[in-house]
A and B are shown apart, each in its own frame.
Chain A
């Protein structure tokens, strides 16, 4: 597949203090390092090893991933919204690449 592309689902607005559900998905093969190619050579490991969600610069949730996380890793978690602002989502690849996306949320 082309460059891994993140998808994120965050509500557009929330009540002050509301706990919202966030869903994220990113296209990535999560090559475990345990598979072999047709010639019998080990395919080197390449996974997304870290996912982070920040809100207005403060850490909300993060996850360290091992090769046992499925391809196209899915992550669902919660966040308490005390003020309007921006969620920043970051995925770190074994090869050093960083994939990022941001979502704004309003507070009623």
Chain B
């Protein structure tokens, strides 16, 4: 593979940018997201499983990305999902929405459409009425449009 001078310059500049900035970016996004999760769970680390996210692998436009969430739960007066927090760890502000369920919901499922500023993880954290918490994560690739972006 032969690179033109311009390609080579572009590649090295890109690599430099990644080296210089990505750790900082990753940290700040994760910090905000972690803080939001902790605030929601009351400090506990949520377990994997029980809650599952349904997101497209690739979103054609970050302005309108369909997101579904479902939680395995009997949804009775004694045992139900209280709420599900949705976060997007690459947005300027990770908060997206919080769904609140009741026994009258029948099943703990909800769908909405969200804004994603770039390719990133969408996160769902479920809180049951006994206080236990569960988490799921899905990466959504947000594509850049045609000539206009």
Contact = CB atoms under 8 A, between A and B. Distances in A.
Interface of A: 19-20, 32, 34, 55, 58-71, 73-80
B91 interface: yes
Contacts of B68: 76
20 contacts: A19-B107, A20-B106, A59-B102, A60-B104, A61-B101, A61-B104, A62-B99, A63-B100, A64-B97, A66-B97, A68-B93, A68-B96, A69-B97, A70-B113, A70-B115, A71-B64, A75-B111, A78-B106, A78-B109, A79-B104
Contact of B112 (A19, A62, A76, A79): A76
A76 B100 contact: no
A76 B102 contact: no
Contact of B105 (A75, A76, A78): A78
Contacts of B64: 70-71
Interface of B: 63-65, 68, 75, 88, 91-93, 95-107, 109-116
Nearest to A52: B100
Nearest to A56: B104
Nearest to A20: B106
A78 B100 contact: no
Contacts of B75: 80
Given A73-B112, A78-B106, A68 B91 contact: yes
B98 A70 contact: no
Contacts of B102: 58-61
A69 B97 CA distance: 7
A20 B109 CA distance: 11
Contact of A63 (B92, B98, B104): B98
A63 B93 contact: no
Given A19-B107, A79-B106, A70 B93 contact: no
A71 B93 contact: no
Contacts of A75: 110-112
A63 to B, nearest CB: 5
A65 B100 contact: no
Nearest to A68: B96
Contacts of B104: 55, 58-61, 79-80
